[in-house]
Amino acid sequence: MTAASPGAGAPPSKRDSVIDALMRLSAERPWHNIELVDLAEAAGIGLAELRDLFPSKGAVLGAFSRRIDREVLEGTTDDLRGEPARERIFDVMMRRLDALTPYKRALRRIMNALRQDPLSLAALNRSALNSMRYMLAAARISTEGPLGGLKLQGAVIVFSNTLQTWLEDDDPTLARTMARLDRELRRGERVLERAEDVRTLLTPFRVFGQALLDRRNLRRRERRRERFEGEDEDPAAAI
């Protein structure tokens, strides 16, 4: 497998060599059987160089994800700018799966291993959140504001669930994968709609609560000012 990031004819960087070596090894053997020394040897570098480049296999996996991010982002155009949000997200996520296709066998082995490791899954979720931040940006979906975090985590769940189907979908048309992605996106839309409804419903209560808090703070400042003024009038108050 060749690196996705270097230009045509350009030799891969050492970082890309390590990423390619990890994905190549992952396609050949279980994830937990890949040692750092195996990775260094497969990349053609020493352990010292590997340590300078990456602190762990997980970090290499994170770099692989960022490389896929870049491939998707570099292929992003404005062709679907006028389409509904779901169509734009669908396009971006399918292009991400296309970019992952050369590594499908390796990813199948990796995901099967990491599903049994809660700490690794938590780290993968943090990496996935960063990726989805850019995938949603490529689809021109805002992730700012009160619902931004929900959109990001929702996108991670949508892609993760779709990825599970994709890993087992060997049909060239990817009919099952596309159907799963469509279902997940529709479900995500309903969740966001309900969250927006709840947020709208609670807006008067938040305003009322903020008004009470402001009034309480104002009274506290007034009492503090009165106490200080009283101390100025009566020096004995400082005793």
Domain at 29, CATH number: 1.10.357.10
Looking at the structure, tell me whether residues 69 and 185 fall in a common domain. Answer: yes
Burial of residue 96 (CB within 10 Å: 0-12, 13-18, 19+) is buried
pLDDT band of residue 229 (cuts 50, 70, 90) is low
pTM listed for this prediction: 0.76
Identify whether the C-beta of residue 94 lies closer than 8 Å to the C-beta of residue 74: no
Question: Is residue 28, in this structure, part of any structural domain at all?
Answer: yes
Looking at the structure, tell me whether residues 48 and 152 fall in a common domain. Answer: yes
Q: Which domain covers residue 55, as residue numbers? A: 14-196
Q: How many domains does the chain have?
A: 2
Does residue 10 carry a pLDDT above 70?
no
- Single-letter code of the amino acid located at 227: R
What's the pLDDT at 206?
47
Write out pLDDT tens, residues 17-49.
999 999 999 999 999 999 999 999 999 999 999
Write out pLDDT tens, residues 94-140.
999 999 999 999 999 999 998 888 888 888 888 999 999 999 999 99
Q: Cα separation of 182 and 129, whole Å?
A: 20
Looking at the structure, tell me whether residues 152 and 220 fall in a common domain. Answer: no
What's the pLDDT at 201?
44
Helices first, then strands: H and E counts in the chain: 9, 0
Looking at the structure, tell me whether residues 230 and 112 fall in a common domain. Answer: no
Looking at the structure, tell me whether residues 187 and 82 fall in a common domain. Answer: yes
Question: Is residue 4, in this structure, part of any structural domain at all?
Answer: no
Question: Is residue 8, in this structure, part of any structural domain at all?
Answer: no
Kindly give, in sequence order, each residue whose CB lies less than 8 Å from that of residue 194, ignoring residues fewer than 6 positions away.
none
Paired tokens of 18: 């390590």
